[in-house]
Amino acid sequence: MHIGPLLGSGRTADVYALDGPWVLRRYRHGIDTTGELAVMSYLAASGFPVPRIGPPAEGALPTDLVVRRLTGPTLAEALLAGTVGEEEGADLLARLLRELHAIPSRLSQDPEDRILHLGLHPENVILASEGATVIDWLTTREGPPALDRAMTSLILAQVSLDPASTAGDRVRGLLAALLTRFADDGGVPADALARATVLRAQDPQLTGDGTAVLDEAADLVASLSGRGPAHFRG
């Protein structure tokens, strides 16, 4: 397959057209896709909805990932357009995390550990014709499922508090609905929220506005989870 024109650019990667139904995701800053590819292959074999992995492109680099092109809006776009409501969006996010955490870990010997996405939020869910599909597995690691729930909640809380966001109230409604679903899966314990906050603070892609509201976001998650403000700081 030959690399075609640039289709779009994200925070960490550029996406190029390839022959047929494929696209090439090329990371910047020398990021290696070996780990991401291994996790996606494992999850695909386990039946979890990840993009189908394609053959290497001609002239491929270690930072390249070839996947099948997905057609459809992100969950974020659908929520903003009103074609998906907050309750429905919360159901979908909770279901995807629940299904992910039902799959045994790939490497860890701890029977409680699972594969974690650590970024499973509406922008990383594509509502494709074949069903909701989870993208962007760059931050994946293995650990307790509560950490994944905490990270998703924290990211949503940050967006809801970001002064640059035009959908703060709607995202807060989604977060509140999602936390009620999480309660059936073990909720967002204080220790998981504390760890998620530390990890989020270390994210080099986090913007200045996102960093500024991080502590307030943790307090919001704790409050909506039925606890008082989070008494920790990264």
Question: What digits encode the pLDDT tens for the residues 172-208?
Answer: 999 999 999 999 999 999 999 999 999 999 988 777 6
Q: Is the pLDDT of residue 131 over 90?
A: yes
Q: Which residues of 30-47 are buried (b: 16+ CB within 10 A; e: fewer)?
A: eeebeebbebbebbeeee
Counting other chains too, the contacts that 129-136 makes at CB distance below 8 Å and 24 or more residues apart are 129/71, 129/72, 131/49, 132/49, 132/75, 132/92, 132/96, 133/49, 133/50, 133/51, 133/70, 134/48, 134/49, 134/50, 134/96, 134/100, 135/50, 135/51, 135/70
Lowest-pLDDT choice from 39-43, 96-100, 154-158, 164-168: 164-168
pLDDT of residue 205: 77
Q: What percent of the chain has pLDDT over 70?
A: 95
pLDDT of residue 227: 66
Query: What integer is the mean pLDDT of 5-28?
Result: 85
pLDDT of residue 47: 97
pLDDT of residue 164: 77
Specify the 3-state DSSP secondary structure of 143.
strand
Q: Is the pLDDT of residue 217 over 90?
A: yes
105 pLDDT band, cuts 50/70/90, is very high
Sequence-separated (6 or more) residues with CB below 8 Å from residue 167: 79, 80, 159
Mean of the per-residue pLDDT values of the chain: 90
Query: What integer is the mean pLDDT of 113-123?
Result: 97
Q: Is the pLDDT of residue 230 over 60?
A: no
pLDDT of residue 177: 97
pLDDT of residue 95: 98
pLDDT of residue 234: 39
